[in-house]
Amino acid sequence: MGDQLEKFVLDNKDSFNDATPSDQNWSKIEGKLGSTPNRVVPMMWKVAAVIFMISTVYLVADRFNTIQEGPVYSEEFTQAEDYYVGLISQKRLEIREQLSPEQQKEFLVEIDQLDLMYDELKKTYTTNASNDRVMDAMISNLQLRLDILNKQLDILKNIKNQNNEKDNSIEI
């Protein structure tokens, strides 16, 4: 059945394409669509576009103003901070993997205190108009945290090695 219908449509294609609806049909279609004049719709789109543009400009200007309010760090400092923060996070994770939550609290007390000091240094940096000495203290704080974490990891490694030696000597 489908093949016959398709063949009929293809054979009579020209007779389907030459017919145009009468003016009465068009007037009925326009009546069902409503009596909105064609000029109202484009005007609404223009108003919507203007409102969109105004809101976009406002949001971009507002964002630009909020971005520039914070302290301005040099690119060198930002790179150093990112480097140290990444290493510190990695070392903390290594310690957390080896210790229970109670042991972690004891082991990371000094690091948490240095974190608080670092936050205070950041506040001081913003109020002292980007003082270089404060920036140096911030870098020193990051380096000290990394040194402490490395020493703690060495201690954990030594403890683990001692436990392994005890286990090996018992098995012999």
Q: Across the chain, what does the average pLDDT equal?
A: 79
pLDDT, tens digit, 9 for 90 and up, residues 60-86: 887 776 654 556 677 888 888 899 989
Check if the beta carbon of residue 72 is closer than 8 Å to that of residue 130: yes
Separation CA 92–CA 146 (nearest Å): 9
pLDDT at residue 152 is higher than 60: yes
pLDDT at residue 154 is higher than 80: yes
Place 105 in a pLDDT band, splitting at 50, 70 and 90. confident
- Of the chain, the percentage scoring pLDDT greater than 90 comes to 2
The domain ranges of the chain are 23-69, 75-171
